[in-house]
Chains A and B, each alone.
Chain A
Amino acid sequence: MDSVTTGPLGPKHKATSRPSGPPSPEKPLAFSNAADDELRRIVEKYPDAGMRLLPTLHVAQREFGWISEEVKHLVAHRLAIPVAHLESVVSFYTMFHQRPVGRLDVQVCMSLPCALRGSGETWAAIANALGIAGGEITADGLFSICKVECLAQCDRAPVVQVNDEDHLDVSADRVKSFLDSLRNQTGDGKAGA
């Protein structure tokens, strides 16, 4: 969770460490030095140019939070591929966000094994506690929620993935403490919803 900022964030503070709006024209989007190093390693690791696209998009998303039009152009330019090809790939894979997400993107598995053990109730409890619907972001920019398919941990259902991390056995009655612990991890949560 390297992108999470600390410090108080109220509804007025919309800024997040992941730039989510269109960047200002005078400061063109660029990869950080660390990301640049990573992209160089990708070139060494995948000698075939085609194979670099998905890994590069993963880096770009971690860097910028989501794959905006500007990010698409940046990546296409970097890999010297047509934007149209990049578009076809980005739109195919669900992990590439085509709109901004919260700093904590809460993904609830809705596939049958999780559903049989109450993921529907878990989803409703999370949406209710945060006051947002799927695809929306809380006013403080902290949370977004979405439904996802099987995360391959069906023995610990319901399963919720938050950014890169799996959370297991998240039954509806645990949702309040689950969200509180997420807030506390980020350092900007008051105890209680």
Chain B
Amino acid sequence: MGFDRVLTRNVGKPDSRKIDTYLAGGGYSAARKAVTSTPDEVVKIVSDSGLRGRGGAGFPTGKKWSFIPKNDTGQKFLCCNADESEPGTFKDRVLLEHDPHLLIDGMIVSAYAIQATRAFIYIRGEMHAAAKILEGAVAEAYARGFLGKKIFGSAFDLDITVYRGAGAYICGEETGLIESLEGKRGWPRIKPPFPAIKGLFGRPTVVNNVETLCCVPPILERGASWFASIGTPNNTGPKLYCVSGHVNRPGVYELPLGTPMMELLDQYAGGIWKGRTLKAVIPGGSSAAVLTAPECQALPLDFDSCGKAHTMLGSAGVIVMDDHTCMVDAALNVMRFYAHESCGQCTPCREGTTWVAKILNRDVHGQGLETDPDLLLDVCRNIEGRAICPLADGAVAPVASIIRKFRSEFDHHVKHKSCDLGKAAVA
């Protein structure tokens, strides 16, 4: 449908995960090109491309790399964040399972740019198959001399090691990930210092998402201006959108950043299932504020447009809800997740998420009080911005927005002690 796939161009090819398949498509030319350039040149190409991090925050990748101190000649680290666990997000899995060499190629370029000779791929513990595939791909790359000492005949050494998590959403937060890599509880650190100054083992470290790193080889191969020509101003390049929930064709769709929401849902995801109508969408993984159907109509799915709509593109996990969805129940489901995943360090997050989940639970089960929606919003205000990592804000955004935008459903639950949809709970 018009758009030439970039990140998923090998997905669907037979043996797409094999190094020869990747090489046959011109693979590893980016890594070769990088090691014959200066690190500054590589950083500049990526900065000029406008690439913004695909993990959720949308921070400019080149800028993140440029924070690594140049005069520091000691050990530096690159970490690939493959801890994909944001509900509604399943794009990195596609890249890991189908095109692991694209990731390794991107990691070589990125490691060279920041002069890191040691890199780690932190993969979710639950992704058993993907971890095996990655291990195989890394071994293939070593066997060809693409990893190890003096790669591609240059003076640059790089080792990549796969490291499995063990079930903790918070390890997707970059300092939680670093703590976990060091073999500890994945407790996020207070920032500053940022990882670029003090990261893994106290050394300068860059943590980049899988999809971000996979954007890097095409940028080197085809140029910064080519990449910048895709998408919308300040929101450049291709994007993997994950569509889940009440659509006919849930899946991962690669499209330019800024693709209109309704085009994604109707043309690609096949429209709302069962002939029903759209009620609400959480556009950026479950940490993003909910949008009503009217708010979705003219929304381009990019970082800035979603920000202007008071939500976020986040991980582009687009969770679609039809008109049979009980929003009180949806709020409970989401908050229960965050209450479970809160690492417990910061009191407002640890206590607040559990408290909100308890109140929502009584609302869902017809035992709510008239004052509950205001109480919930008050507790949410006291969680937001009062913790050291973004989990707390991510817990508040969907739930507070659901309460504000679907308040009548909360009132109905209190008044009639039941859901006006008469539908089974999603929570």
Contact = CB atoms under 8 A, between A and B. Distances in A.
Contacts of A111: 87-88, 286, 333, 337
A52 interface: yes
Contact of B166 (A57, A117, A161): A57
Interface residues of B, number: 57
A117 to B, nearest CB: 7
Contact of B244 (A51, A93, A149, A157): A157
B174 interface: no
Interface stretch (B7-15, B123-131, B382-390): B123-131
Interface stretch (B157-165, B212-220, B366-374): B157-165
Interface in B97-135: 124-129
Nearest to A86: B183
Interface in B335-361: 337, 340-341, 343
Interface in A34-66: 45-46, 48-55, 57-58
B414 interface: no
Contacts of A70: none
A161 to B, nearest CB: 7
Interface in B232-275: 242-246, 250-252
B128 A164 contact: yes
Contact of A54 (B87, B126, B164, B252): B164
Contacts of B180: 54
A80 B12 CA distance: 46
B339 to A, nearest CB: 11
Nearest to A91: B185
Nearest to B286: A112
A152 to B, nearest CB: 4
B201 interface: yes
Query: Which of A85, A89, A149 has the most chain B CB atoms inside 10 A of its CB?
Result: A149
Contact of B164 (A52, A58, A88): A58
B88 A112 contact: yes
Contact of A152 (B85, B167, B181): B85
A110 B164 CA distance: 23
A116 B321 contact: yes
A150 B88 contact: yes
Interface string B82-104: 00111111101100000000000
B225 to A, nearest CB: 33
B341 A149 contact: yes
Contacts of B251: 155
Nearest to B187: A92
Given A54-B180, A111-B337, 7 more contacts: A111-B87, A111-B88, A112-B286, A116-B244, A116-B245, A155-B90, A155-B250
Interface of B: 84-90, 92-93, 124-129, 161, 163-169, 180-186, 201, 242-246, 250-252, 282, 286, 317, 319-321, 325, 330, 333-334, 337, 340-341, 343, 424-427
